[in-house]
């Protein structure tokens, strides 16, 4: 079966997920999820592509303030032979008209980061499920405001953190749960990705040409680059920390207690601009964000976590995962696993492939054929599917509001630590103590989540 032959899976849920009150879905047919999209730039159109492949999803409406994005999006629908959605445009508040529609069950938010908080809160208050790209908010207060809206409305909020569904990440989660690594002691992860060709272009190409950024350029350079001019901190923590949270049951029997961040000097972006666009004035900009930001986090149960944000220097892509316990460890950078007394040779790495294949997660075994061709090595299908199935089954999302806010609040905490001379920051407990009794149900079986 290929992805276009997707057959709606049975509604067998994960143990411990809350059934939401009836009436949340406005659509008459609960087997079909009706979605609205706020932001149809490059990332938004990736999610559009996932929705167009499913018979259980109807894309009712889209919103974007740029005609170029809407034009690309229309072409996707035409190519797929699907009915064009209603469009909302014209200003920053255009999305509010979309939210007034009673035929939308959930929204996908894929706008620039600074708009996420208000759009998510408005969507929850309009009675919609929220699937939001990272990050949730700019300040710590933003995160508490999102939680307040969730508590008032009871509408689920899910950060679309796809790396939690990466195949090797989930195989290692399977190994952790089967105690292959023993008691977990230390973990690492990060966002280690050369973004220089994304942060700058010539206004004619999305990637890899020119040294310009701002409103006259293409794609993310219109807005994302400015963050590196104005802010110093880990501005994209969720890829590294999302999987780590599942490994040590954060918000579900464990929690982050405090963090401290360190930031290197900033040289990479200036060097890049000078190389690709000699004489460009942007090479003289003082980019506040250090080339490498390192954040250390303590956990209530005694584990330590190290996160790295490294996007300004030449480097191959890697998220730098490390899961280390009393019986062994996994490191993704060298694709290696060592299990004490079980590895092929004492004190020598095994290639991770054999272990990862043996402990391949049931979700991947079951749905590999559906994820084939999806973005980011298939994991985009899994995160989108998790959101859609949650809406369809009227359940809390597997990455819930507490997880989402915990991942995202690392950004303002990191910034504050750096501003205060690497001072430790207390980590907010968005669960208000409920973490002590909550159970980790993420990807606990193969039910579709």
pLDDT at 8 over 90: no
Supply the pLDDT for residue 397: 96
Q: What is the pLDDT of residue 447?
A: 64
Beta strands at 322-325 and 184-192: parallel, antiparallel or unpaired: antiparallel
Lateral strand order in the sheet of 322-325: 350-351, 336-339, 328-331, 322-325, 184-192, 304-310, 292-299, 256-263, 425-426
Q: Indicate the burial class of 165 (C-beta count within 10 angstroms; 0-12, 13-18, 19 or more).
A: buried
CA distances from 158 to 93, 244, 343, 401 (A): 22, 17, 38, 6
pLDDT tier for residue 260 given thresholds of 50, 70 and 90 = very high
What is the pLDDT confidence band of residue 25, given thresholds at 50, 70 and 90?
very low
- What pLDDT, on a 0 to 100 scale, did the predictor assign at position 449? 62
Measured in whole angstroms, how far is the alpha carbon of residue 443 from the centre of its chain? Answer: 16
Query: Is residue 4 predicted with pLDDT exceeding 60?
Result: no
21, burial (CB in 10 Å: exposed 0-12, middle 13-18, buried 19+): exposed
- Per-residue pLDDT, averaged over 232-253, amounts to 98
Contact (Cβ atoms closer than 8 angstroms) between residue 37 and residue 384? no
What percent of the chain stands above pLDDT 90? 90
Task: Give per-residue pLDDT as tens, 285-319.
Answer: 999 999 999 999 999 999 999 999 999 999 999 99
Structure tokens at 226: 């400015």
pLDDT digits (tens, 9 = 90+) for 261-280: 999 999 999 999 999 999 99
| Mean pLDDT, residues 221-240 taken together | 98
How far, in Å, CA of 417 to CA of 352, rounded? Answer: 36
Q: How many helices (H) and strands (E) are present in the chain, helices listed first? A: 15, 15
Categorise residue 337: left if φ over 0, alpha if ψ from -120 to 50, beta otherwise: beta
Question: How does the average pLDDT of the chain come out, rounded?
Answer: 93
The CA distance from 31 to 393, in Å, is 8
pLDDT in tens, 361-391: 999 999 999 999 898 999 999 999 999 999 9
Per-residue pLDDT at 446 exceeds 70: no
What DSSP string runs through 106-124? EEEE-S-GGGHHHHHHHHH
Arithmetic mean of pLDDT, 410-423? 98
**Residues 163, 442: contact at Cβ < 8 Å?**
no
Judged against a pLDDT cut of 60, whether residue 3 lies above it is answered with: no
pLDDT digits (tens, 9 = 90+) for 118-150: 999 999 999 999 999 999 999 999 999 999 999
Q: What is the pLDDT of residue 270?
A: 98
Query: 335 CB contacts (<8 Å, ≥6 apart)?
Result: 351, 352, 353
- d(C-alpha 341, C-alpha 358), whole Å: 17
Q: What is the mean pLDDT of residues 33-60?
A: 97
> Quick one: residue 154, left, alpha or beta (phi over 0 = left, psi -120 to 50 = alpha)?
left
Q: What percent of the chain has pLDDT over 70?
A: 92
Cβ partners under 8 Å of residue 313, min gap 6: 194, 268, 291, 292
For the four alpha carbons of 263, 423, 407 and 304, in that order, the dihedral sign comes to positive
Separation of alpha carbons 226 and 423, rounded Å: 25
3-state helix, strand, coil in the chain (%, to 5): 40, 20, 45
- Alpha-carbon distance of 305 to 256, in angstroms, equals 9
Please tell me the predicted confidence (pLDDT) of residue 440.
95
Q: Which domains does the chain possess?
A: 33-155 (3.40.50.720), 166-361+401-437 (3.30.360.10)
For residue 239, pLDDT over 60 is answered with yes
Mapping DSSP to helix (H, G, I), strand (E, B) and coil, where does residue 49 land? Answer: helix
pLDDT 10s digits, 153-198: 999 999 999 999 999 999 999 999 999 999 999 999 999 999 999 9
Alpha-carbon span 42 to 53, nearest angstrom: 17
Q: What's the whole-number mean pLDDT along residues 244-253?
A: 98
């Amino acid at each position: 079966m290929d992805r276009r032959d997707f057959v709606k899976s049975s509604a067998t849920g994960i143990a411990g997920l809350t059934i939401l009150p009836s009436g949340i879905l406005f659509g008459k047919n609960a087997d079909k999820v009706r979605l609205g999209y706020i932001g149809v730039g490059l990332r938004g159109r990736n999610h559009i592509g996932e929705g167009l492949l499913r018979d259980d999803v109807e894309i009712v409406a889209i919103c974007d303030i740029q005609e170029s994005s809407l034009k690309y999006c229309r072409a996707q629908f035409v190519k797929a032979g699907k009915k064009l959605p209603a469009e909302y445009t014209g200003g920053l508040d255009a999305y509010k008209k979309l939210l007034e529609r009673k035929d939308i069950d959930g929204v996908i938010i894929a706008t620039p980061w600074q708009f996420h908080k208000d759009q998510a809160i408005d969507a929850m208050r309009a009675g919609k499920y929220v699937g939001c790209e990272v990050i949730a908010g700019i300040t710590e207060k933003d995160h508490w405001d999102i939680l307040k809206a969730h508590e008032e409305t009871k509408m689920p909020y899910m950060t679309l953190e796809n790396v939690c569904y990466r195949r090797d990440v989930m195989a290692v989660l399977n190994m952790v749960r089967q105690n292959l690594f023993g008691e977990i002691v230390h973990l690492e992860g990060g966002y280690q990705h050369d973004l220089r060709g994304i942060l700058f272009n010539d206004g004619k190409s999305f990637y890899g040409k020119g040294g310009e950024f701002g409103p006259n350029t293409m794609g993310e350079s219109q807005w994302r680059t400015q963050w590196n001019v104005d802010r110093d901190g880990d501005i994209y923590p969720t890829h590294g920390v999302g999987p780590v949270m599942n490994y040590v049951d954060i918000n579900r029997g464990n929690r982050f207690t405090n963090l401290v961040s360190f930031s290197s000097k900033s040289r990479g972006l200036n060097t890049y601009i000078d190389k690709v666009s000699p004489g460009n004035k942007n090479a003289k900009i003082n980019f506040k964000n250090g080339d490498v930001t390192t954040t250390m986090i303590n956990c209530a149960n005694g584990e330590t976590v190290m996160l790295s944000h490294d996007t300004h220097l030449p480097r191959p892509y890697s998220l730098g995962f490390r899961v280390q316990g009393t019986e062994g460890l996994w490191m993704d950078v060298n694709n290696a696993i060592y299990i004490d007394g079980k590895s092929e040779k004492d004190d020598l790495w095994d290639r991770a492939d054999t272990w990862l294949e043996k402990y391949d997660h049931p979700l991947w075994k079951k749905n590999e054929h559906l994820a084939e061709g999806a973005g980011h090595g298939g994991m985009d299908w899994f995160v989108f599917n998790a959101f859609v199935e949650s809406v369809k089954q009227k359940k809390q999302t597997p990455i819930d509001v507490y997880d989402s806010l915990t991942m995202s609040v690392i950004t303002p905490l990191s910034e504050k630590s750096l501003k205060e001379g690497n001072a430790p920051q207390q980590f907010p407990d968005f669960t208000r103590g409920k973490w002590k009794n909550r159970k980790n149900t993420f990807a606990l079986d193969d039910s579709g989540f």
